[in-house]
Amino acid sequence: MLNNIEYPSASRIATTLADTWPEHTRFLEQSFASRDPALMATAERHATMILKIINSQSSLINYCGDYRFLCNVLMEEEIFFRRNGRYRLNKFEDALKDVYSNTDLMSRYMNFLLLSHILWDNHARAMANFEETYLPMLPNGTRHLEVGPGHGLLLHLARNAPNVLSATGWDVSQTSIDQARNCLNAMGGQRPVNLTLQNLFDASPASEHNALFGSVVLAEILEHLEDPIAALKAVSQHMRPNGFLWVHVPINSPAPDHIYLLKTPEEAVELVKAGGFDIIDSKFFPMTGQTLERARKRDLTISAVITAQLNPKRKAQA
């Protein structure tokens, strides 16, 4: 599978990583073997986008080195999680100091995440859900916001969607903003993206009805916050009535900047409800090589992907 000529871009990324990190080959084979042709075709499109980014910034081998480095960091966090039953950090200010303000670490972190969206089965499925299910359901003329765009892949897909009028990204890390901008420039697109160094909790709610967003994305954001419900309520202040929300949040997923521990996918769904949203759909994708049942039983990582709609009455009460 790693050398499949039908998927040259995905194969190039996987084989390069396997060459530089042979011990990871079995994981890669498991990840690709679990996908049907439709999902592999989607992953191939995304891999082609990623290779445009890599070719403009650094060599693929360097990205693979960053991926391996972060996997080792995650293993250290996993050991702490298993021993203590919690994430190592519990304050956002510590994550800001230790991770988000560390330019070198953030750069390597973003490179890792970029590759993980091809190499990790749960990340690949989340990406496919966003592109093939969420974006098509948005009304024509939608103003779209992503909080914490990271590598910019989701923003790129959104700005190219025919029903999206404009795309905006907010982030608390200047390194992330710069990297997202570089990635977006490398991929090219039908319309520009407004990237702003902006803390969600400090943003002034829009006063004009037509300045509100009809779509908001929180992809791997809520686990980084001390009070995710407050963040969801803050998001709602920037949304149009009945606006749409797409959330990707990991369950039992220790990382150097993860703060809020969700132990089941259902907790994630209830979290979104508590933030003032009505649930449209939810999908739960277990980590590579695991069934959902086994992941639940062993408290392993599950990607919870939730599509929701802002309830205007509940927004007024927020």
Give how far Cα 19 sits from Cα of 2, 30, 245, Å. Answer: 11, 17, 39
pLDDT in tens, 124-147: 999 999 999 999 999 999 999 999
* One domain, residues 105 and 147: no
What's the whole-number mean pLDDT along residues 17-36? 95
Identify which of 215, 82, 210, 209 has the alpha carbon closest to the alpha carbon of residue 142: 215
Burial of 185 (0-12, 13-18, 19+ CB in 10 A): middle
287: in domain: yes
36: in domain: yes
97, 119, 141: which is the final residue of a domain? Answer: 119
- Residue identified by tokens 């309520």 is 233
Identify which of 35, 39, 114 has the alpha carbon closest to the alpha carbon of residue 70: 114
Continuous segment of H or E residues that includes residue 110: helix 103-119
* One domain, residues 98 and 134: no
- Residue identified by tokens 């995710």 is 228
Count of domains for the chain: 2
Confidence check: pLDDT of 317 > 90: no
What's the whole-number mean pLDDT along residues 161-177? 90
Confidence check: pLDDT of 57 > 70: no
The model's confidence at residue 205, banded by pLDDT at 50, 70 and 90, is low
According to DSSP, residue 120 is labeled S
Could you tell me the residue range of the domain that residue 53 belongs to? 8-119
92, 119, 146: which is the final residue of a domain? Answer: 119
Report the distance separating Cα 14 and Cα 110, nearest Å.
Answer: 18
Is residue 255 helix, strand or coil?
coil
Report the distance separating Cα 260 and Cα 9, nearest Å.
Answer: 35
Identify which of 143, 150, 157 has the alpha carbon closest to the alpha carbon of residue 112: 150
The rounded Cα 314 to chain-centroid distance in angstroms is 26
The model's confidence at residue 4, banded by pLDDT at 50, 70 and 90, is confident
* One domain, residues 254 and 142: yes
Please report how many Cα atoms fall inside a 13 Å half-sphere around the Cα of residue 188, on the Cβ side: 4
User: What pLDDT does residue 209 have?
Assistant: 44
* One domain, residues 191 and 106: no
* One domain, residues 157 and 291: yes
pLDDT in tens, 69-108: 999 999 999 999 999 999 999 999 999 899 988 889 988 9
* One domain, residues 87 and 68: yes
Q: Please answer whether residues 203 and 235 qualify as being in contact, where contact means their C-beta atoms are separated by less than 8 angstroms.
A: no
What's the whole-number mean pLDDT along residues 18-37? 95
* One domain, residues 216 and 75: no
More confident residue, 193 or 151: 193
User: The CATH number of the domain where 183 resides is what?
Assistant: 3.40.50.150
* One domain, residues 75 and 101: yes
* One domain, residues 200 and 298: yes
Confidence check: pLDDT of 314 > 70: no
At a CB cut-off of 8 Å and minimum separation 6, what does 255 contact?
Answer: 73, 74, 77, 87, 223
What's the whole-number mean pLDDT along residues 8-24? 95
